[in-house]
Amino acid sequence: MVGDSAVSRLYKDGIGAAYITAKACAVTALFLGVSARDFDKHYQPVLRRIARDNKIGWLVFVITGFYQKLRFLRRGMVHMVRQERGLDPSGRIMGKTLWNIFTGSASYRDILLQSMHPIFVMKLFTSTLKTILKPNRVGLNDHPREQKNLDRINP
C-alpha cells in the first residue's frame, strides 16, 4: 500500500505524507528492487518512521489539550507569546512551537524536543508564575477583547 492508505501524519499534511510514501515506494521499486525483502528493508522503515512520529504527535495533542482546558497554563502561554513580540524570529520559541503544531511544518518529535528545551521550559514556567502571582502587572486583564476570546475558548 502507498499514500494515505498506508500511513498518514496525525491531523496534518496528508498530501506531504502521501508524497513521502509514494517517493519511497518509487525509489525502492526503481532503484533497489521489487521483492518483499527490498520493500521490507527500504520502504517499510519510512512508514514506520511516520507511524512512530504519530505516537509522539498523540502526546503533543494531549499536552495541548491541557493548555486548552486549564486557564492558568493558557494564560502563561499567551504571556510568553506576548513577551516574544519584540524579539528576532529566532528568539520566538513559543511562537515557533505553536506555528509548528498548527501547521505541521515540523515533525512531532522536533516539536516535542523543542518544547522540552530547558530555556523554553524556564521561560514558560516564569511566564505562568507571573500570570498567577501578578495577573494585573502582566497586563492580561487589561485587554477585554483578548480576555473575552480566551473565555470563549474555555469558560
Ligand X SMILES: Cc1cc2nc3c(=O)[nH]c(=O)nc-3n(C[C@H](O)[C@H](O)[C@H](O)COP(=O)(O)OP(=O)(O)OC[C@H]3O[C@@H](n4cnc5c(N)ncnc54)[C@H](O)[C@@H]3O)c2cc1C
Beta strands in 3-151 (DSSP E): none
Q: At what angle do helices 44-69 and 108-115 cross, to 10 degrees?
A: 40
Chain positions 8 to 37 lying near ligand X, rule: CB under 6 A, are 8, 13-16, 18
Q: Report in angstroms how near the CB of residue 12 gets to ligand X at its nearest.
A: 7
Q: Alpha helices, DSSP H only, in 11-143?
A: 14-27, 36-42, 44-69, 71-83, 93-103, 108-115, 118-133
> How many residues lie near ligand X (CB under 6 A)?
9
Q: Report in angstroms how near the CB of residue 21 gets to ligand X at its nearest.
A: 7
One-letter identity of residue 34: V
Whole-angstrom Cα distance, residue 70 to residue 64? 10
**CB closer to ligand X out of 100 and 131:** 100
Q: Report in angstroms how near the CB of residue 102 gets to ligand X at its nearest.
A: 13
**CB closer to ligand X out of 11 and 120:** 11
Q: Report in angstroms how near the CB of residue 148 gets to ligand X at its nearest.
A: 30
**CB closer to ligand X out of 5 and 136:** 5
One-letter identity of residue 57: G
Q: Are 131 and 76 in contact (CB under 8 A)?
A: yes
Tell me which residues touch ligand X (CB under 6 A). 3-5, 8, 13-16, 18
